[in-house]
Chain A
Amino acid sequence: MAKRIDVNALNVYYSKFLAVEDISINIEPKSVTAFIGPSGCGKSTFLRTLNRMHEVIPGGRVEGEVLLDGDDLYGPGVDPVTVRSQIGMVFQRPNPFPTMSIKDNVLAGVKLNGKKISRSDADSLVEKSLRGANLWNEVKDRLDKPGSGLSGGQQQRLCIARTIAVKPDVILMDEPCSALDPISTLAIEDLINELKSDYTVVIVTHNMQQAARVSDKTAFFNIAGTGKPGKLIEYNDTAAIFSNPEQKATEDYVSGRFG
């Protein structure tokens, strides 16, 4: 549970295009780390390399290493399927499987790779995961109804329940609140605060207040211009990034002078 991530000199390419250049960062276990930066600066791309989801996009590849408690995700013989079952991901738009019930959505990842689970274990895991995602009380009477019938915020918490049901070491969140209203956003932010007692959480956000509210450490990414690779400009405690940044670009961004 809750492993640390160390990234050394990582370059990310889409075919020949260098999207993100030379990132080195150490992410502490049981903490929330936020990635902020203007659109197109490569923060989502970098996040996806942490569970090899960038490989879904044709031509996506990396140079460098990403260590999960010392084990290289890109080492020889490492299966991306195994990586993704240990490093879960929550997406920008809620994406429960539309043809599955709420219960089946929670169990979707657990039943993969031919694993069997007894009915009573399944029921208790569903309850535990939904409680973990602060959704249990809202859906306990309609576990057999389709997940697509929930509100956007509930769907997103269902996706988080689905992710934690697999018992990952790390949870990656790619702008999890950008499609949600303020109340649902608050619910997710409260949840992120609770999740960090068990998991390592990495969140990409466009919302600087959100980064300031939920994260322990913040990384600021920037891009020199269109077609240039994104770079990590500054990485520090969240308080320091927002009150006393070392770099001029960080200060300009967090004070709202651009982006």
Chain B
Amino acid sequence: MTTNALKSKSSTSGQAGDKIFSGTALAAGVLILVTLFAVAIFLLIQALPTFVADPADISGGEGFFAYIWPIVIGTVIAAAIALLIATPVGIGVALFISHFAPRKVAGPLGYVIDLLAAIPSVIYGAWGYMVLAPALVPIFEWLAANLGFIPIFAGPASQTGKTMFTAGIVLAVMVLPIITSLSREIFLQTPKLHEEAALALGATRWEMIAMAVIPFARPGIISAVMLGLGRALGETMAVALVLSTGNLIPSLIKSGNQTIAAEIALNFPEAFGLRLAELIAAGLVLFMITLIVNMIARGIIARHKEFSGAN
């Protein structure tokens, strides 16, 4: 009887190692899916009473939709203000680091921007509450006096500065590092070939950026902004501390408005029964909004991968 020469000669312990490793990796992967699924199930089950309850019993007395839509709008307004401020600033800073700053400055500056992301959100909230809000009061008064005819700047301005506008600015500072560091990574990946092509045609540095860097980076910038949006939508602590809440109003410089995350955080400790289910249903809505935003961002990133910059 001949023996098969191809028969494995490696020790059995090596094979066991392979099995343990692949088992661990599989378990880790499955665990994440199970967690996400469990969160979704938890939210659905706990929120269910809200959807079957008598509309008159819901906060506000007009049903869940009437309760949720003002704070959905509030959430979107806060995130929009944050992105309007953070996107141009973040892209500008990223371009400065990647293409303008001398190497000695660029390294530390990039590091400091990344550190901004490491500051706990409660610190941002405290800063917004104690420093930023009072400092903005004169600006709000000026806006109310001079641009008050525009509904978003309608007075009288808040005397504490704890407004939607302030919350938006705090959120902008919080999403800035996300937009900056992702954009910077993309800018640095611009093929040297395309940059040199532009320069060799007689482009100035700025024209080179407009011609070679920005078109290459556009999908990456979009996904960076989307991820920033995800954070701005879900941010709780900073808004809860900075915003003096109230009903949905168009003016951004008066007290009022509310976001979903802050609404949950502020009311959760005392809530029970149907009120608790309501807050969890609000959480479910937020979960769906951020999920959709993240899926759009992932979709854009995936499309970007197919389009490899090197032709």
Contact = CB atoms under 8 A, between A and B. Distances in A.
A84 B200 CA distance: 5
Interface stretch (A36-44, A105-113, A240-248): A105-113
Contacts of A109: 201-203
A159 interface: yes
B251 to A, nearest CB: 42
Interface string B156-179: 000000000000000000000000
Contact of A163 (B195, B201, B211, B309): B201
B196 A97 contact: no
B254 to A, nearest CB: 45
Contact of A56 (B191, B199, B202, B311): B199
Contact of A112 (B194, B197, B201, B216): B201
Contacts of A84: 199-202
Interface in A153-203: 155, 159, 162-163, 166
B200 A99 contact: no
Contact of B193 (A81, A85, A91, A108): A91
B207 interface: yes
B237 interface: no
B199 A159 contact: no
A26 interface: no
A88 B201 contact: yes
Most central of A86, A91, A98 by chain B CB within 10 Å: A98
A159 B264 CA distance: 59
Contacts of A94: 311
A88 B198 CA distance: 11
- Nearest 3 interchain pairs by C-beta: A85-B202, A109-B201, A89-B200
Interface of B: 103, 191, 193-204, 207, 211-212, 215-216, 218, 307, 309, 311
15 contacts: A53-B200, A56-B195, A56-B199, A58-B103, A89-B196, A91-B200, A94-B311, A97-B194, A97-B197, A97-B212, A99-B218, A100-B215, A109-B202, A112-B202, A166-B202
